[in-house]
Each structure stands twice: as C-alpha cells, then as structure tokens.
Structure 1
Amino acid sequence: MSDLQSLKKKILREDKVEQILEAIECEHIRFSGGRVEAQLPERFYSSNKRSVQVKLKPSLSSSIRNKTDFKNGDIFGLISYIHHNKRGEDIQKDLHEAKKFICELFGWNEFLKGGNYKSKVDHLAPLKAILKGKNKRKEIKPNPILPETALNDYYLFDRPLPYTPWIKEGISYDTQVLYGVGFDLETHRIVIPLRNRFGQLVGAKGRIEKDDESTKKYMYLLRCNNRYEWFNFHYAHPYILVDKRVYIFEAEKSCMKAFTYGIYNTVAIGASEISDEQIQIIKQIGLDIEIVLCYDKGIPKDEIEDTARRFTGRKVSIMYDGNDLLKDKDAPIDRGLNVWNKLVEENVSEIEV
C-alpha cells in the first residue's frame, strides 16, 4: 500500500493525471477547481464532458458521473474500469495491472518487481510513433445542438404534423409523431428532424412530397454536417446491441417504415455515400455486430460490395434482391413485412473484407 501511495505522490508531483486520462482515451480533458475532468471514451456513448473526475489530492480519488458501478474509487480503479473494462470485485483484483499500466506508460520501472523490472526494448518504437501520428483518428467536431423549439415553424400548435400520404405508404401516424415529422409551407416539403447519437436535435431536412426528377429531392432546412450522424442511431442502438445486427438503409423514410413494422435496429445514411466518420461510429458499437447494407433496388451489386469492404475488421453482409421481389427504385422495406422477411432469409450474403 505504501508503494501505491508513493506512486500516487509521483503522479501528483509530476502532474501526470492529464496524460493518464489521455492514455485511456478520455476526451475534453481540462482542469477545474482542484480536479481534472474529462469525457468518457466514445465507446461509452456519453455526452457529459465532465463525467470523469479525478481530485488532485494525495488519494487521487476518482468518480464517474451517472455510473452507479463506479462512484468512489481512485486513479487505479479508473484505469481498471475504463481501460481494462473491469466491474465490481474485478476492479480490485486488477490493481496490479492498473499499476503496471501507469508504470509502463511513464517508464517508472522502480515501482515494478522490487525495482528489478526491465521493460522490453522495442526497437521499432520510433517507427511506431511516426505511424501512430499518421494514423491518428480524425477528430469529429459534433454538430451544434439546436433547441427543440427550432422545429415549431414546421408544426401545428408546436406539435408534429404527420404527412397523410406517408401513412398510406406504411409509416404510421404514431411513428411520424415519434420522429417529429412536420411540414414546411414555404418550400412545400415534408420535414424530417435530424438527431445525433444521443437524441439531441442537430438539424432538419426537407423532402419533396412526390418524387420528381427535375426537383432536388432533399434540402436542409436546418443545416448540419450529415457525415457525423446516422439517422435513427439513438433509437436503434439498444436494439442493435440485443440483436447483434444493424441494417443500414439509404434514406430516413426506410427507418421510419421499418419502425412501424416493429424492426428497430436500423439506421440510414441520409446521403449519397457513407462517410469515414459514419463507418467509425458503426464500428465502435462492437466487434460482434453484423453490419447489413440494405440499398435501394437498382444500385449495382459491385458498388454495394465495395462499400461493404470499407468496414474492415467487421462481419459485413449485403441484402441484394436476386429474386426480383422489389420494383424500380424500391428500398428493401417498401414492399411490406413479408417481402422484407423473405429478403432477410434468402437474400443476405456475407462479404469478405
């Protein structure tokens, strides 16, 4: 225990708390009133930039807001919880590994194995450092959060305004209310609110009432950077984790139609192609999640396969209508639940990535 306390003193004396939080991939690290605060790594899907807190006192007591299984701990427990994914009694059992992580991070070998510990010499370390710099993940700057009242211009008495023809197509009234569908009188477009992965409003898109080759189908009424978002992610995420599968549609309507049919693990690109940032978000859901691309009828199979191969390191499949169950430019969900189920059962094939 005296050894651990000495290590804590060294961390404080040499001001290493910030570097430790960086090493375990925390974000938005800052000093505030005698403590260091940070946001949990992206894989925790937490938007709280002050959730991780380490007090700059000899105990280095630490806590994570809104995590009932980690309230009162220290810097070692924080490493075990966040970086080593330990929970409950396993956090205490991981104490040596957490200590080892810090010592190896800073080269403090005197705290390991009675001071006789010798770290392995990595002759490729300089090259790895260069490559790490080159391959550093591009920072995703989130879209600004908009107030919900920004949608009131498209609502009737500040309430969603479902579009009747969509109800006839298969997107129920209740589903449209849930997604906040409205209507813009100025442009005569159906309004689809856009939300980030936490369900916060970041934009709104207007869609023409009837498909017309001479008119742009979509336009932003409340502009945002779509490449950083997946439509429906905040609703779909828990169902994706349960089903171990995510269906990726091209357009937002498909997600709403699928929701009406009781299919909840779907997201939509909302653009002409999937961005690198969108791929990153999907891959962060987990290694055990199957990704199924469900593109509209008429998209060449080789193009869909090329997109699938961008999800490196994951199980990726494509849904391709080889039995001509769909018509024209139909989305896979457009012909109803029976056709969808048949596509799922007979027309989904895994792609080598």
Structure 2
Amino acid sequence: MQAKELKQYILDDTDRIYTLLRNANFHDFRQNSEEIRCALPNMVNPTGVMIKLNNSLYTSLFELGYSGDLFGALGVVLEKSFSEIMRWVHSLLGLSNGYKKGDTLDPLATLIKLSGNHKSEQQFTSNKLYDQSVLNKFVNGIHRSIIEEGITPDVARKFNIMYDPHMDRVIFPHFDWEDFTKVVGVQGRTTLSKVEIEMTGTPKYWNYIKHYRKTLNLYGFNQASENVKESKQIILFEAEKSVLKQFTFTNCEGNSVALGGHTISDNQVDFILRKLPSDGEVILAFDHDVMTKENEGEGYIINQAKKFSVFRKTSYIFDTYNILGEKDSPIDCGKKKWDYLFKWRKVIE
C-alpha cells in the first residue's frame, strides 16, 4: 500500500493511529475532532506532539523541531528510514504491501510469508539485549499496589517485579522471548491515581529502554514457555498485569503472555506458530473496550484471530453478557468470572 492510500486507511479508523503511537512508546493522549496531542517517548509534555487528523496526517514534534507527516515523525523517533517505517507500519497493522481494501485472507500467502522465504520486519530490526544488571538501579521489592491488584508476592517475584522510588513507578522487566536471561524492555507504571495523573501531567507509563519494540516480543513468555507446551494453549492478553493475575490463579503455572496492545504483529504470529504445538490452541483475551468499540468490536477480534486459525485451533473471549467493566481485562473481575468467560470462549470455525 502506497503512503497516500495508507494514510487514508489509517484515518478510516483513528485507533490505528493509536496502535502506531503506543508501539513507538508515545503516551498521555488527548484528542479532539481535529487533532491528537500526546507526549514523546520518555518526555512528559502532553502537548509535545501534534497529529492533525487530515489527509496528510501532518505531524509536529515540537521538542525535536520536526514538522512533516506521521511516517516521517515515526522515522525520527524510531531512527528508521522511510522504507523501514513503511514495513513496520504494514506489519503492525496486519497489512501486506499489496493490501487493498476488501481483500480476503489467503492461507497460502500467509504460509509463504511465515515460512521464512518472505522478508518480514524481523529481518530488518530486533530488540537489543541487555544484561540483567540494567535492573540494579531499582528496588527489589513489591509495591503495595501490586498486592492490591490481587497478584500474589510469589508471582511478583517470579516475574522480577520491582520498584523505582525516584520516579514512584512499579517496574515490569520484559525478558527476551528467545534468550530468557536477557532484558529487552523495562516498563514503569506510575503509582499515582487517575486524578493525580491528570493534575500533575505525569505519564502513566514510562519506558526506561529506548526503542524497545513490543511487536518483537511477548511479555511473560520466558515464564510461560514450558506451560504453553504442556497445556498446548497460549492466552494472549494485552497487558502485563493480566498475565500476572493468570499466573496467580494457576499457582504460578500460567500459560499466558501480553502483546502490549490488541494488534498482533506478523512477528508475534510467526513466533507463536513456531512455539505452540501443532495441535495447540491460541486464545485471544482482549480488554472489554475492544469488544464494544463501534469501529472494532467482535469483527475486529475475529480478524485478529484469523491470523492463527488457518494453522491452529483459535478462540477468543467475548463478554456476551457485559459482566466486565468498561476497560477491564477479562481476568480483572476475579477467578470465578474469568473461569466463566474462559469456558464459554468462542472458537473460530
């Protein structure tokens, strides 16, 4: 898809803009009918970035002195060439360069793409590996907010959850999905309340390792890998805490990972298909707001599930009876409701 056509495709559903921005570690979003404002990665000014919702997706990075379109802005922040950014955007949105609106899934094309004969984003970029000493600046302790979420201390310790007293953030280390001894990302979540965040302009999340790409990793796979093999199931949540809760409910025998959003990249599809037994099952467990958004909803979830259903049994959790809160993960309302939703998940035929 050419740049002009791709911009229109993105404008057709502004959540696609948020998918790109969040995966590039922009944060603290504000939107009106004309533009989106947000903060640059590892910066705190919530109006430091402006994206106009027009045909050019005109974008300004005020603190970096950049003005141009969204793709150029992403190139500046991610330090990538235009061609690399275009490949990254296509991969993240689940598109091929030949995509046209109305195209249907071609299982043979998908198989060729995942076979290794087709160049994918993984051949052009990868996460940098760090020794675990990068975590030495954090306190090896569990903040009370983790316990209040219903996550047990043994699970928190298993996942190396830490605390940054300087920035008052709970630390979630992300270990590489292949080399479990190496750190690729460090996500810090503020302990401030929603009201305090809005009053102080504090970013909810802080990425301590620049250019960490969640699309090239799966949070928690280092802990879940053996259980995935044994159970022949892998559960795909959006966020880290959902994984921690599933491990809590299973007494540290969880088989879930976090995508870092609700768009599954080609790299993640490829990795899961290589690691999951051929008779295994992929289970999508996206947050409730994805299920109910007018421009996403069940159809969107099914389309994401179809990335796997050609090759593996695939199902998804859907809150048919609206038992979750507006932005809840399917596992946020306790084990009983989670077990119910999991039992009645929908299988892609």
Calculate the TM-score normalised by the size of structure 2. Answer: 0.58
The answer to whether the 8 Å contact 1:189/1:209 transfers is yes
What residue number does 1:150 align with? 134
What residue number does 1:274 align with? 264
What residue number does 2:207 align with? 220
Alignment of 1:169-248 (within 5 A): 169-197=149-177, 198-199=179-180, 200-210=182-192, 212=194, 214=198, 216-223=203-210, 224-248=212-236
Give, in angstroms, the shift of residue 337 of structure 1: 1.2
* Structure possessing the higher relative contact order (Cα contacts under 8 Å, 6 or more residues apart): 2
> Residue deviations 1:204-243, cap 9 Å, x none?
0111224638454322112322211000112111111111
Q: CA RMSD in A?
A: 2.3
Separation in structure 1 between the aligned mates of residue 141 and residue 220 of structure 2, nearest angstrom: 19
**Structure 2 vs 1, CA of residues 317 and 167 (structure 1 numbering), >3 Å: closer, same or farther?**
same
The answer to whether the 8 Å contact 2:282/2:315 transfers is yes
What residue number does 1:331 align with? 329
Alignment of 1:1-353 (within 5 A): 135-140=118-123, 141-155=125-139, 160-197=140-177, 198-199=179-180, 200-210=182-192, 212=194, 214=198, 216-223=203-210, 224-262=212-250, 263-285=253-275, 286-299=277-290, 300-311=297-308, 312-346=310-344, 348-352=345-349
**Structure 2 vs 1, CA of residues 150 and 133 (structure 1 numbering), >3 Å: closer, same or farther?**
closer
Percent sequence identity over aligned pairs: 29
The answer to whether the 8 Å contact 2:235/2:255 transfers is yes
SS at match of 2:307: coil
Gaps of 5+ in 1: 1-128
Runs of 4 or more, structure 1, over 6 Å off, are none
**Structure 2 vs 1, CA of residues 325 and 146 (structure 1 numbering), >3 Å: closer, same or farther?**
same
Q: Which amino acid aligns with 2:127?
A: N
The answer to whether the 8 Å contact 1:154/1:182 transfers is yes
Give, in angstroms, the shift of residue 323 of structure 1: 2.1
> Residue deviations 1:308-328, cap 9 Å, x none?
112242221110011222122
Give, in angstroms, the shift of residue 341 of structure 1: 1.0
SS at match of 1:273: coil
**Structure 2 vs 1, CA of residues 133 and 343 (structure 1 numbering), >3 Å: closer, same or farther?**
closer
Separation in structure 2 between the aligned mates of residue 135 and residue 289 of structure 1, nearest angstrom: 25
Q: Which amino acid aligns with 2:267?
A: E
Structure with max Cα Rg: 1
**Structure 2 vs 1, CA of residues 210 and 316 (structure 1 numbering), >3 Å: closer, same or farther?**
farther
Corresponding pairs, count: 217
Separation in structure 1 between the aligned mates of residue 206 and residue 337 of structure 2, nearest angstrom: 31
The answer to whether the 8 Å contact 1:211/1:217 transfers is no
Separation in structure 2 between the aligned mates of residue 239 and residue 194 of structure 1, nearest angstrom: 18
**Structure 2 vs 1, CA of residues 309 and 180 (structure 1 numbering), >3 Å: closer, same or farther?**
same
Gaps of 5+ in 2: 1-111, 291-296
The answer to whether the 8 Å contact 2:215/2:268 transfers is yes
Separation in structure 2 between the aligned mates of residue 134 and residue 283 of structure 1, nearest angstrom: 16
Separation in structure 2 between the aligned mates of residue 229 and residue 136 of structure 1, nearest angstrom: 18
Give, in angstroms, the shift of residue 137 of structure 1: 4.9
Give, in angstroms, the shift of residue 336 of structure 1: 1.4
Q: Which amino acid aligns with 2:302?
A: E
What residue number does 2:75 align with? none
The answer to whether the 8 Å contact 2:330/2:338 transfers is yes
The answer to whether the 8 Å contact 2:228/2:255 transfers is yes
The answer to whether the 8 Å contact 2:305/2:315 transfers is yes
Give, in angstroms, the shift of residue 138 of structure 1: 5.0
**Structure 2 vs 1, CA of residues 211 and 349 (structure 1 numbering), >3 Å: closer, same or farther?**
farther
Calculate the TM-score normalised by the size of structure 1. Answer: 0.57
Separation in structure 2 between the aligned mates of residue 293 and residue 325 of structure 1, nearest angstrom: 18
What residue number does 1:26 align with? none
Separation in structure 2 between the aligned mates of residue 272 and residue 318 of structure 1, nearest angstrom: 12
The answer to whether the 8 Å contact 1:290/1:317 transfers is yes
**Structure 2 vs 1, CA of residues 210 and 338 (structure 1 numbering), >3 Å: closer, same or farther?**
farther
Separation in structure 1 between the aligned mates of residue 176 and residue 306 of structure 2, nearest angstrom: 25
Q: Which range is displaced more, 166-175 or 249-258? A: 166-175
Separation in structure 2 between the aligned mates of residue 320 and residue 149 of structure 1, nearest angstrom: 41
